[in-house]
Each structure stands twice: as structure tokens, then as C-alpha cells.
Structure 1
Amino acid sequence: MGQSCTLTGMVLTSMPVGEYDRRIVILTKERGKITAFVRGARRPKSTMIAAANPFCFGEFEAYAGRNAYTIVKASISNYFYEISMDLMKTCYGCYFLELADYFSMENSDCRDQLKLLYQTMRALNAPALSLRLVRSIYELKTLVYHGVYPNVFSCMNCGSKEDLIYYDSRKRGTICASCGGHSMRRIFPAALYALQYIITAPVEKLYTFTLKEEILNAIEKIIGESMEFAADRKFKSLEFLNDLPKDSK
């Protein structure tokens, strides 16, 4: 068994292995995404039963093996039980975990991603926030951390930062009044500002505002197009979310 280490992170996935064990994937601050085994986690009296579930955030004492880690102890600071008790929040939470799994890598600096994921899970329980808005913020900020977000700060044609009143989905960015035409998609000033704010704001300040329905619809469309460009596969949890009536979200 390798050297012991303590890792701070959140469980992204968990699946049974063998008769009593679990294989989990954790997004960690120190070593990016890791795969780990939790021996005996499915035994009725195991102290690791709860700690090996998705959404669990805390410190994990682990030993590094050749291809995976072995978790021997965990100190969970937040189980996010409130999410698991609500079907809609669970659906959103699972999508966020799936996105984190897709965009994170092993042995990489994932501190910002982990911080974003943790704050997003907390935001799911904020009664004043629309779940759709939480989703849009999380998606766009995830794209920011991977450098594939839309340009909403200057014109894609001439570089001007003034009069950005159109959005070109093919160029994935804004177009100014001089370069655009009436046939192009207009972007609300409030939607433009919301996108700019999400891109530039620190994680702690992300979930501090609400949007009118028409503005939320506008940024959802732009962010959704950007997600389709950035990801080369479909997400199962997203397919389920998209099938839900908008009123239920």
C-alpha cells in the first residue's frame, strides 16, 4: 500500500464492486479527479456507508495504489441531505456532478472547479434562486474554467466593445451595431450584463442575483449552445432534465 494522504473533495460517482466494496470518483482539491475503492462500504455496520455516496464533501484519508486510491477514513463536513430529499434538486445535482466528472482530469489543479461545485450545491438549497438560473451559472462558469466560453465583451467582427446588441451563435460571440444586421439575433442588455458578470465574478459572488424570465431564457439559449460546442457527448442527466416541463424546474 502506498503513502497515506488526506484529500479534500466531493464524491461524484459511486458504484458497487464485488460483494461489499464501492468504487467512487472524487473531485479533489489536491489531485484533481481520482478513482478510489472503499473496502467494506456496503457492509451494514461500516462507518463508510454514508461517506461513499455522491454529493458527500469532506476530507478523505487515502492510500495511493498503482491505478487507484483506497479510502480508509473519511470526515464528511456536508452530506447535502437536503438535495437528496428533493427529486428536482437531485436531478440538477446529478447533472452538476456529471459535468464535473466530464470536465475534470486526474493530477490537475481543480481547486476552482471544486469550489464552484460546492457553492453550486449550496445554491440548490437557496429558496430565492431559480434552479434553472443555478444551472446556467454553473454551466457557464465551468466553461470559463476550461477556456471555451462565449465572447460577450467585444464584437467578433471588428473588436469593438461598444453597442454589443447582437449575438452570433456560429461565431460564439457578440456583434456590435455597426457590424450586425436586422436579421441577426438581438441580445438584451440585461442578458449581456448577466453573462459578463457570471464570467468575471468570483465564485462567492455568483449566486447573489435573480433574473426576469425573458432574460433567463436568453442566457439559457446562449449557454446551452456553448455547452453543445464544448462537450462531445450527451449527458444522461441532462437529457432527463430537458424532458421535464419548464414549470417544474
Structure 2
Amino acid sequence: MRKADRLFQIVQILRRSSRPVTADAIAEELETSRRSVYRDIAALVGQRVPIRGEAGIGYVLEQGFDLPPLMLTADEVDAVALGAQWVAGNADPTLARAARDVLAKILTVLPDELQPFLLDPAARAVPSWDRPRDGIDAGQLRAWIRAARTIEIDYADEAGRVSHRTVWPLLIGYRDASRVLIGWCELRGDFRTFRLDRIASARFLDTPIPGQPSRLRARWLRQIQASAERWRNDADGPG
């Protein structure tokens, strides 16, 4: 077990006990040495975790203490780093910059013991170098999604034929090779997916989306889940 994980687990052990917990008991549960427990307790106290006690007697975590939001395990740090790195390498420039800013902010408040896991994570995202150029400003598109307003787009299909659409934008999806807009298409009277690189032009309107976007997103998600279930059933059926 990594040291950062042990620090987290020691706090958990002390939190669930109403009596002093000896270093031997902690070492047995964590399958480590008593000497390591002493060092870990000292590290936690140095990080202002309110632990009282001493070697040979036991340790108690003062009441009312809770783990701060960024007292993460090493695996949680890897998850944060992987997600932010993926966004930095695959999202539009505005979100990519925001992802790098998030990592910098987290680094400034992480305990010293956890910082190496963020600076040199065990999991990494590989950036996409051949992603096609978007035909719409993704940052403004996200703003219109949040504001629940409609847009007009000129959209080219695979053959290059362009059609004019009025769309209720609901969310931006990220695929391995492209970014897509998922929304309600007034022309088709149904949910449609539009690749951002195939949008020839876009006009951001002040017209509000009819109804609640959250309900539309939930409805779209139910349709996707139902389609996936049908696909699985067909795949599991007789050959």
C-alpha cells in the first residue's frame, strides 16, 4: 500500500473507533510495520490532522474532524489527473485551458505526500493529434446550452449536402475522433447528433428552448439506453 493510501486509511481507522487505537492495531490492519505507523501519524499531525495520543498508549482522532475535500487517495489523484489530461488533450481550447487550470489549483492544495501522484500519474491520456477542426465555437455553444437557447446551423452530411437546421442544443459529446452536438432538431422532429466539424455556419439565437432542457436530456438518455439494450439483446440472440 502506498504511503498516501495509508495516511487516508489511518484517519478512517481512528474515525470509526471511540477508544484509543494502538500503533500495533493499525499496523496489523494495514499490513505494515509499527515504525511506518509512527511515521505516518507524525506526517498526519504535521498536516494539522487533530490526532491525540502517543506511542504505547494509542491514538484518538478528535471529534468533529472530517477529511478535507482534497484528502484523496492515490487512485483518486490518478483519476483526477487522467480526466483533466484527457480534457486538455481532446477538448476545445477553452475547456483544455480550464483543465490545466484545475490541475494547477489542485496541486497547490494537495498535501506534499500526494503531489507526486498528480505531477507524475500512473495513468495518462494520449492527446488526439488528428481531430478535425470544429465549425462552431464550442465555448459559445456551451454557453447557449447553459442558457437554454436555440441555434441555427447549416450542416453538411457525409456526402457534403448542406441542410439548414434549427436545433435545441442539449450537450456536447466527445468521441475519439470528433466532437458532436446532441440536440433536438426541429426539421426532423427528433433528437439528432451533429459533428461539430461538419457545421458550415451557425447563428446563436435569443429564442429559448421550449420546456426544460434537463428533461430533454433525460429523455435522450433513456432513448440511448433503450437502443443499447436492444443491441445487446440482438447480439445475445440466436446466431
Task: Please give the range of the TM-score, normalised by the shorter of the 2 chains.
Answer: under 0.3
**Which structure would you say has the larger Rg?**
2
What TM-score do the two structures reach when normalised by structure 2? 0.24
What TM-score do the two structures reach when normalised by structure 1? 0.23
Higher-RCO chain (CA-CA 8 Å, sequence separation at least 6): 1
